[in-house]
Structure formats: C-alpha cells, structure tokens
Amino acid sequence: MHKKLNPFRILRYAVLVFMTFITLYPLFWIGLCSLKSSEEIYGSPFGIPRQPEWENYAEAWQVADIPVHLLNSILYAAAAVTVVVILSAMSAYIIAKVWKNRGLYHYYSLGIMIPINAIIIPFILIFRRVGILNTRVGVILAFIVTNLAFSIFILVPFMMGLPDELEDAARIDGCNRLQTFFKIMLPLSKAGLATVGTFVLINCWNDLFLSLLIISRQNLITLNQVCYNMRSQYAADYGLITATVMIMVIPVIICYAMFQKQIVKGMTAGSIKG
C-alpha cells in the first residue's frame, strides 16, 4: 500500500527547495558571469555562456596579483582562527567547569550585542597609539577581538554538557587542570571547536570593513579588498571581477563542505545542552 501523502511534509520540502534555490542562485549566477565577456553579461545576464571564457580566471589571477593577496587572507584567517579557538576554549572551560559562573558567561555574551561600528573609532585610536595600525599584527588582532565573544558564547554550553566525572577521573589519575584541559576536554570538544573555527574563518575571510580601516598598504591588503578595489579599477569588465569573486569564494565553500557535519553537531549540542 502506498503511504498517504502528508501535505505538511510536502509543504516543508517545497519551502526547503525554494530556500535552497534563492540561497544558491546568486553564487550560480556569479559563476556563469565569470565565464562570460562583459558584452555577453550586458546582453544576456542570466543566460548560459555561449563559449566559456576560462581566460577570465587566468587574467584575474595575474592582473589582481591574487597569489600575494590570497596568501595574506590565508595568513590573517589562519592566525585568527588558531588564537580564537585556543583562547575561547580555555575561557569556556574555566566558565563551564572551574568557576561555573553564569554572570561571567553573560558578561562575555555582551560582546555579541555591541556592533563594531560603535567601537571602531577607539579601536583605530588605540591601534595608532600602540603602533600596529597598517600592519599584519593589527588586522590579526582585530579579527581575534571581534570574534572572541561569539566563540565563547558557542563553546560554554558545549563544555557544560561534558560529564563532570571525566574531570574527577583525570584528577584521580594525577592530571592537573592544564593536563585535564588538553588531554580530556579539548579532544572531546572537537565538534564545538570545528563550529567555532569555521565561523571565525568565514568571518575573517569575508571581512571588508575592518581590513579597509586598518590596512592600506598594497602588499598587505586581503583578497576581499582586491575585489572591492577592482570595482572601480575595472568597472566595465564584470567578467574579470566575477572571476576574482569566485576565486575568493571557492576556499570557503570547500572548508564548509569539509567540516559540515562537525558544525551541525556542534551547534546542535550547544543549543540543546546550554
């Protein structure tokens, strides 16, 4: 016998298909435009390329000096992710297992509510006074500061869900706090760490506001800044601009695809146990 069709299930899948379409279509459209000439983009903006122009990618790679700026973006993002993951994991462990202070957790959570626009002026003044404005250290530190509160907010509920008996067993075996953290808590928090790391990576990779304000030297700017600058330098060549955008987007897609299961698991665990 055939199962009776559930109209609510059909509606749910229809909504999911529609949301998937409107989410992925802009990326699909940019991919199509990256294989067209500017004349074809103006003449048929939503059509399939008549003859794919793969040379757009080769030209963008050379004209925009992508290897240098891609390396900058990777360096900034990797350094920020590493520091944020370590610091947020340590802070979350203290809040969730050592002090168990909800007030401290809410204090860190306040950092999510403060928009970066509200603190950008003192941010720049402090960086100028310290002497790290327009430097690699400056942009990395800015990424760390702006992502730390969110990372602690995600990791604290996750670590609260880990059994306290694990700490007791580690203490009986002679482990101190530091050993318990690195040998027990950190490996068990891989899903939460993957969630935090991926979100921080995406935030750093997609950032334009902070990097525009902090760095202006051509050899230090990020790939995102290159895409922004190309809008004015190559305003008529949208094939070249969209090819550069695709080069910037592809690493994030690959990263998210690799850690998708860990991200979903970490977000679900934190929402249920927190």
Q: Give pLDDT tens digits for 118-152.
A: 888 888 899 999 989 889 999 999 999 999 988 99
Rounded distance, CA 96 to CA 152, Å? 10
Domains of the chain: 65-235+247-273 (1.10.3720.10)
Statement: residue 57 has pLDDT above 50: yes
Which secondary-structure segment (H or E) carries 88? helix 66-93
The sign of the CA dihedral 221, 224, 226, 229 is: negative
Question: Where do runs of H (alpha helix) occur along 95-234?
Answer: 102-113, 116-130, 136-160, 164-172, 177-180, 186-188, 190-206, 209-214, 223-233
pLDDT, residue 273, reads 45
Q: What is the dihedral of CA 200, 194, 74, 21, to 10 degrees?
A: -70
DSSP 96: I
pLDDT > 50? residue 26? yes
H or E element at residue 251: helix 238-258
Neighbour count for residue 270 (Cβ, 10 Å): 22
Confidence (pLDDT) at 236 = 65
**Tell me, what amino acid is at 1?**
M
Averaged pLDDT for residues 98-123:
81
100: left (phi over 0), alpha (psi -120 to 50) or beta: left
User: What is the chain's alpha carbon radius of gyration, rounded to the nearest angstrom?
Assistant: 23
**Token output for 240:** 């070249």
C-alpha 36/C-alpha 240 separation (Å) is 9
pLDDT digits (tens, 9 = 90+) for 160-212: 888 888 887 888 888 888 888 888 888 888 888 888 888 898 889 888 888 88
What's the pLDDT score for residue 180? 84
**Cβ burial, residue 215 (10 Å; 0-12/13-18/19+):** buried
Left, alpha or beta for 134 (phi > 0: left; psi -120 to 50: alpha)? left
Average pLDDT over the chain, rounded to an integer:
84
